[in-house]
Amino acid sequence: MSTDASDAVPAAGAPAAASLRLTPYSWYVLVVLMMVYAFNWMDRYIFVILMEPLKRDLRISDTALGFLSGFAFSVVYTIAGIPIARWADLRNRVAVVAIGLTVWSVMTAACGLARNLTHLAFARVGVGLGEAACSPPSHSVISDYFPQNRRAVAFAIYGLGIYLGLTAGLVLGGWINELFGWRTAFISLGLPGVALATALALTVREPKRWAPGVEGAESLGAVLRFMASLRSFSAYAVGVGLFSFAANGVNVWSGVLFMRLHEMSSAEAGAWTGYLGGVAGVIGTLGFGYAADRLGRRDPRWYLWVTCMAAVVLIPATAALLFGDDAVAIAGYFVGIACAAACLAPTVAITQELMPARMRAVSSAVLALGLNFIGIGAGNLAVGMLTDAFTPHLGVQAIQLSLSITTLVGGVASMYFILYGASRLLADLGRG
């Protein structure tokens, strides 16, 4: 590649972000970071499709599965994410992502060596630690390669990594489990990430963010206080977490639901959820990202309003998934995944516009705090605990009631916080 990274990025004091010049290398960087993100989500979703064989072989409960798929991952992700993001804001972001990719790939493979719940929990903690270094630095790098009016689309393309990873994790994980067992599945899908980390470190250049001496390096506390003073950001960051709490049931527990209520094998459930989820996620991610960029030119609050609209549709789609026959349930899953995809690109894009360049990685880490602690952590654990509590009375139908509760509560609450954040957005824009 002959184009230097700095060619795509203006120096401090240059015209506004909209004047950034896109180059072929800008798109190359975006594609590589999207592939890294795909490995991030593949290593999450392989665990999802293997929850039933893990439950059987290691003799663990649904509550334990909820803990392993949620809190064991997300608490570490959340705690480590903010200091790692601040380190990335002040140092080489590409190196941070490469190190993180290496760590979570090795620890995913280590899940295949687990002999009991404790071993598996430690491996999942390692996955969470590594993955905390992925998105916040990546978001900041993408913002330095793409102008403001193209960022929602850029983040939508980056967000396709979720659904590429979802498809690979569910389909390949279910298939390898059927043929060789869950241990081989973890090892086979974990280790290739080390090769991608090497390619990332060797081919992606760290872009310049600002001229030396133009902007100082505030303490992490000062950065967090500034973010807390932006009432729009504080509100929609909570709203995004609650949106994830509602959507997480569709994302994580659909495979288990199809196996329990529709008597599918892990390979069948992995194929249905993987292929359909991948297509739906691509449609939702690109569609909502494009709509946010188009509508946001007239009013930036559309970056939040499109997410709120998706939350409205998510609730009946999840009801169809939970209570419909085979065809209706699959259709509900498809629509639900498309709606779940609405959150990432618009909210990340408006956050990158709202924050100063030196705070962008940390702001993404704070968004990830809500997504992972409220959504993945609390959401998965709540579904597991409620399912265990209802199972003595409802049997395999218990998962229907637990997912109904989490989707309805999270969906309605997310609408309130996101709409409040939109109402304060215009007052906060420009302060960065």
Q: What is the pLDDT of residues 92-149, one digit of tens each?
A: 899 999 999 999 999 999 998 888 888 888 888 888 889 888 888 898 889 888 887 7
CA distance 350 to 363: 11
Tokens, residue 295:
């509508």
- In three-state secondary structure terms, 3 is coil
Q: Return the higher-pLDDT residue of 406 and 272.
A: 406
Which of 14-23, 111-120, 168-177, 220-229 bottoms out in mean pLDDT, i.e. has the lowest?
14-23
Label residue 394 by pLDDT band (50, 70, 90): confident
Mean pLDDT of the chain: 83
Mean pLDDT on 377-397:
84
How high is the pLDDT of residue 7? 38
CA distances from 33 to 138, 208, 282, 361, 415 (A): 7, 17, 16, 15, 30
Q: Return the higher-pLDDT residue of 255 and 328.
A: 328
- Are 103 and 130 in contact by the 8 Å Cβ rule? The answer is yes
CA distance 411 to 352: 25
How high is the pLDDT of residue 431? 67
Mean pLDDT on 403-422:
93
Q: What is the pLDDT of residues 8-44, one digit of tens each?
A: 333 333 334 444 577 889 899 999 999 999 999 898 8
Query: Is the sign of the CA dihedral 149, 306, 241, 98 positive or negative?
Result: negative
Q: What structural domains does the chain harbor?
A: 23-206+219-428 (1.20.1250.20)
